[in-house]
């Protein structure tokens, strides 16, 4: 499928990030499950920002009972079409208003491609706190606000034609949030921040080449994780992207 920015069915940065991040996202999920002691088998789980369902199906493969939501109806349809029997329930809903999802329904929630896009982070986190059960675990990944992250997300990914993979205006400087800002928003909703872990590509050059090759059609989606290879980077201040974990008190 071609990359285009003018169609709801287009492959663009949300999908490309999801495909490329999938292995490192699952590494962080395993790390979090081990650290928190949460048994994934049968655990009711929510994925917000599911796009075409890669992460949701990864959690289902661990034994979780997964509900996946995305704000784009086209993404929901494409996720359903791509599902080969993982038994994920796909819905269309905005992260700022999860609508009919019941209170205290989930033991685990993963927010992907959400915190760095939403104009209303407090509303997003209030709904996350509402649907998590006491003791529930929230995992997210997002983008820090640094000089490098602005160059990547505001420049390369949406302003420079050769490397553009998202429509102009999707990312804004004020929505690229450092860990302390996210932790403050989590605390405002009664969630306790427990962990922050950066992640990065093994090589910036490999990331740039992969974007150019995918745009030109020389790479396919399934080639992206190996071409870029993102690595967990604990113990260092996030330069661009990072994971985080929070818990709802019992």
- Averaged in consecutive runs of 10 residues, what is the pLDDT profile of the chain (250 residues)? 45 82 98 98 97 95 97 88 87 92 97 95 97 98 97 93 87 96 98 97 91 86 92 95 97
pTM, rounded to two decimals: 0.94
Looking at residue 172, its pLDDT comes to 95
Contact 189, 249 (CB under 8 A): no
| Gap between the Cα atoms of 59 and 43, Å rounded | 10
CB 10 within 8 A of CB 46: no
Beta strands in the chain (DSSP E): 44-48, 65-70, 89-92, 106-111, 132-143, 192-201, 230-233, 241-247
> CA 181 to CA 145: how far, in whole Å?
10
Tokens read off for 64:
């979780």
The pLDDT value given to residue 1: 39
Closest CA to 44 of 26, 67, 69, 68: 67
Tokens of 141: 């990944």
Strand order in the sheet with 241-247: 89-92, 65-70, 44-48, 106-111, 132-143, 241-247, 192-201, 230-233
When computed from its CA atoms, the radius of gyration of the chain, rounded to whole angstroms, is: 17
Domains of the chain, each with CATH number or no CATH? 13-247 (3.40.50.150)
What's the pLDDT at 14? Answer: 85
Contacts of 100 by beta carbon, 8 Å cutoff, 6+ apart: none
From residue 183, how far is each of 16, 157, 195 by CA, in Å? 27, 26, 10
Question: Which pLDDT does position 118 carry in this prediction?
Answer: 95
């Amino acid at each position: 499928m071609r990359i285009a920015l003018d169609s709801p069915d287009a492959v663009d940065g949300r999908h490309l990030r999801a495909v490329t991040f999938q292995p490192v996202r699952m590494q962080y999920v395993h790390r979090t499950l081990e650290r928190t002691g949460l048994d994934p088998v049968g655990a009711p789980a929510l994925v917000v920002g599911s796009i075409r369902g890669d992460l949701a199906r990864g959690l289902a493969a661990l034994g979780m009972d997964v509900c996946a939501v995305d704000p784009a109806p086209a993404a929901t349809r494409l996720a359903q079409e791509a599902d080969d029997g993982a038994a994920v329930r796909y819905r269309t809903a905005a992260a700022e208003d999860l609508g009919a999802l019941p209170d205290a329904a989930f033991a685990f929630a993963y927010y992907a491609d959400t915190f760095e896009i939403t104009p209303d982070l407090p509303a997003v986190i209030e709904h996350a706190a509402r649907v998590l059960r006491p003791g529930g675990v929230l995992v997210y990944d997002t983008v820090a606000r640094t000089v490098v992250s602005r160059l990547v997300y505001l420049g390369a990914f949406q302003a420079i034609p050769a490397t553009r993979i998202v429509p102009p205006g999707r990312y804004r400087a004020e929505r690229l949030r450092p860990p302390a800002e996210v932790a403050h928003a989590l605390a405002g909703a009664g969630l306790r921040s427990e962990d922050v872990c950066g992640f990065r590509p093994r090589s910036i050059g490999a990331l740039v080449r992969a974007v150019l090759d995918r745009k030109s059609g020389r790479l396919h989606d399934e080639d992206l994780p190996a071409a870029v290879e993102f690595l967990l980077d604990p113990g260092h201040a996030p330069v661009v992207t990072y994971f985080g974990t929070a818990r709802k008190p019992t």
